[in-house]
Structures are given as C-alpha cells and as structure tokens.
Amino acid sequence: MSYKNISLTSKLPNVGTTIFTVMSALAAEKNAVNLGQGFPDFDCDPELVNAVTRAMQSGFNQYPPMAGVPALREVVASKISVLYAHDYSAMTEITITAGATQAILTAILAVVHAGDEVIVLEPCYDSYVPNIELAGGMPVRVPLTPGTFRPDFDRIAAALTPKTRAIIINSPHNPSGTVWTALEMQQLETLLTSTNVLLISDEVYEHMVFDGHSHQSAASYPGLAERAFVVSSFGKTFHVTGWKVGYVAAPAFLSHEFRKVHQFNVFTVNTPMQHALAHYMCNPAPYSTLSNFYQAKRDLFRAGLAQTRFKLLPCEGSYFQSVDTSEVSPLSEADFCKWLTTEVGVAAIPTSAFYGDGFDHHVIRFCFAKKNETLEKASTRLSTL
Ligand code: PMP
Ligand code: GLN
C-alpha cells in the first residue's frame, strides 16, 4: 500500500473493520433492534457508578501501581480461591488489564516468538489470530466439532508440534454458548502434561453458565493452572463493557513476563474504576446471581423464537444464542444477517466471521444481554420467519 510517495507494508493485511462494528452501524442505520454486537442495553448497578464517583472525589485520580490497585487484586485472588480452589498471589500473580482484549494481546506478545505456533479452536473470537500474527507467530486453526462446537481432542492432539507455544481456549464460548465440561478440561490437562505448551484461557463469560452447571476454570486444574493465563473481564460481569477493565491470573513466572510487556503497553489501567470494582466485588451477590439473571433472558428469548423456523442450538452459557437459519433462507450467513437487519429489523452476527476461511454452515448469533422489552420486540419481528 502507498500514499503519495510513502509506501507501507501492512502488518495485518487481511484485517478489515470488525463484524461487530459493521453490524452495529447497519443496525443504527436501519433502526433495527441490535442483537448483534455483544453488549447490554441496560445500565449497570447505580452502586457501582456511585463507587466510581466516590473514588474520583476521594482523589484516586493518579497512576495506580503498574499491576493494578492492590485491593482489587486481593478481591480477585480471593474470588478465584473461593470459586476455583486455586490460590494466586495478589502481589505477583494477578494483573489488572484494559479489558480481556489487552490481556490476551499482552499474554501473546509476552510469550510468542517469531515462528512459534499457537493453536486456536474455530470459531474463535476475532482478536486472537491478528494478535498471534502481530507477535510473529503462526496461527494453527483447529475446528471445534461442526454442529456441536465441542472440542475434538484427536484434532487438537494432531495439531501439536514441537513448535507449538500455546493454545487458546474459550469457555463459555463466544459465539456458540458451549461450556466445557470437567471431563473436557481433564482431557486438555492430560494432553498438555509433559508438553511445553502454554494455555491462554479466555473466561470472560465465567459468571454466565446455565441449568445448574458450573464454570470450569483452568485455574481449577493443576496441570492447566501451572501453564495458564486465565483471562476475565469486569465489563461482561458487571454490565460495563465500555469501561474496558479485566484481569489476568497466571503463575509468577508467566505474570513476570506478562508485566514486562504490560508496563510498556498500557503501563496501568484507570484508577477510579479499579477502586470502585474493589469495593463493589466485596459483595459476591452481583456475580453469583448473574447466571440466573441471564438464564431468564435466554429462556425468554428462546421462547420468543420457538414458533419460528429457526433451529435453536443449545446455549449452555455466555449471553449468545445461536440459531440454524437453513429452513428460513438459503442465503449465506453474512447475507442473511444483512437481510435480517435491513428487512426484518433485527441485527445478528454471522458465525462465519469467527472462521479464518469464512466457513458457513447457516448459523447466526443473537446477543440476549438486553432488556426484556428489547428481546420481546425482537421476537415479535422475528416471529414471521
Ligand atoms: N474474549 C471474548 C470471547 C469476548 O467475547 C470478548 C468481548 N468482546 C473479549 C474477549 C474482550 O473483552 P473486553 O471487552 O474485556 O476486552
Ligand atoms: N465481544 C463482543 C462480541 O462478541 C464484541 C466486542 C467488539 O465489538 N470488539 O460481540
């Protein structure tokens, strides 16, 4: 690429505007109900906003310590200890990040050298592959089983080579809503034992797991925890996706390398939000009741779609409901989502956007992190299909 007489080789030649931005823009243009990009359309607890105001008024407005406000790291370490039975040191093993996106990029930049291979399980979140490429690594794409989106350990095992530096997993899964079972975590643990492969475990939807099941954190499996960056996002858990605050928990030897990159990447993350979160998280209720809160929304939305020709895929966790569109339309996923936004007035995300080769199996994703009235409005519009 060149501009006037300046030439430039793109570091990410295949990257365009993300599908989330594209679909949100189309939804706004067409005045559609936006069930595309994943974000709540309701506000967070006013107590959390008050806590930020109080933090700012109390003078917490300068740089915090590089790894994060100690009180927040303490409360995160204690939450992980209670829920997942693994004790991380708040001092040396928990780092507060600018959302999960920065946590994942920083982890990759910290450990992936040029030519290293990193396994991703497709469909996967859109930042992983460009992150690996920015580090000079080689993405190795292994499909989750088509139709069920469950991990296929034979294929993962076949993808491991002496060059494999890391594998990225995501449960609860965006886009499919699949939640890994204890057995699947144990299978991964067995597979990685006696390898040099690191794990990046994207657990941003950890507090949204339905039907009485529980989230299986990599932190709970010693053979995984010893090699894992466990990543989460306060944005998802507390309905504040725009705050961009998250964390990474990792053994000291990994956190040490992570922080070297972090300090020259963002250095620190905004102070008042960290103080507010530290205060707010002393009460576990907001995150311990989140699964029930979202399960009710899932059920409302599924009931609204029950009479349509969409085939509802299972949704075990996350705030995404996937549907098979093949009985509604022969259009490709991307064309169908554009048509649905424009003609029906409901925006969704094509699953093909989560595959490197655009694999299309007529499955689209709706986000149900919406007010009940929004879900009802969307269901009414979709009811004709
Ligand atoms: N991973 C997954 C699977 C996600 O869905 C998201 C949300 N966009 C992120 C990471 C990024 O989270 P954050 O907004 O905290 O950067
Ligand atoms: N994680 C959100 C989703 O999957 C989108 C975040 C973004 O727009 N980058 O919808």
Report how far ligand 2's centroid is from the alpha carbon of 127 (Å): 10
The contacts of residue 334 (CB under 8 Å, 6+ apart) are 350, 352, 353, 360
Report d(CA 275, CA 354) in Å as an integer.
35
pLDDT digits over 29-46, tens only? 999 999 999 999 999 999
User: Measured between alpha carbons, how far is 301 from 116 in angstroms, rounded to an integer?
Assistant: 42
The tokens for 51 are 């806590």
Percent of the residues in the chain that have a pLDDT greater than 90, as a whole number: 95
Q: Whose CA is nearest to atom 4 of ligand 2?
A: 38
Lowest-confidence pick of 7-21, 266-280, 328-342: 7-21
The mean predicted confidence, pLDDT, of the chain is 97
Does the pLDDT of residue 81 top 80, yes or no?
Answer: yes
Does 20 contact ligand 2 (Cβ within 6 A)? Answer: yes
Q: Are 271 and 55 in contact (CB under 8 A)?
A: yes
170 pocket-lining for ligand 1 (C-beta < 6 Å): yes
Q: What percent of the chain has pLDDT over 70?
A: 99
Q: Ligand 2 centroid to 202 CA: how many Å? A: 14
Which ligand is closest to the CA of 202, given by its number?
A: 1
Listed in sequence order, the residues at least 6 apart from 364 whose beta carbon sits closer than 8 Å to its beta carbon are: 322, 323, 325, 333, 336, 337, 340, 348, 349, 350, 351
Mean pLDDT of 55-73: 98
Q: How far is the CA of 36 from the centre of ligand 1 (A)?
A: 14
Summarize pLDDT for 203-249 with one digit per residue, the tens: 999 999 999 999 999 999 999 999 999 999 999 999 999 999 999 99
What is the distance in A from the centroid of ligand 1 to the CA of 58? 30
Q: Residue 140's beta-bridge partner residues?
A: 119
37 ligand 2 Cβ < 6 A:
yes
CA 183 – CA 153 distance, rounded (Å): 11
Site to probe by mutation for ligand 2, drawn from 17, 19, 37 as the one with most ligand atoms within 8 Å of Cβ, is 37
Residue 20 has which token pair? Answer: 């989330």
Ligand that comes closest to the CA of residue 233 = 1
2 pLDDT exceeds 90? no
Can you give the pLDDT at residue 1?
A: 66
Which ligand 2 atom sits nearest the alpha carbon of residue 101?
A: 9
Give 92-120 pLDDT, tens digit per residue: 999 999 999 999 999 999 999 999 999 99
pLDDT at position 3 is: 75
Q: Residue whose CA is closest, atom 9 of ligand 2?
A: 20
137-174 tens-digit pLDDT: 999 999 999 889 999 999 999 999 999 999 999 999 99
How distant is the alpha carbon of residue 67 from its chain centre? 21
In this structure, the number of other CB atoms found within 10 A of the CB of residue 78 comes to: 16
How close is the Cα of 104 to the center of ligand 2, in Å? 14
Amino acid 16: pLDDT? 85
Q: How far is the CA of 246 from the centre of ligand 1 (A)?
A: 9
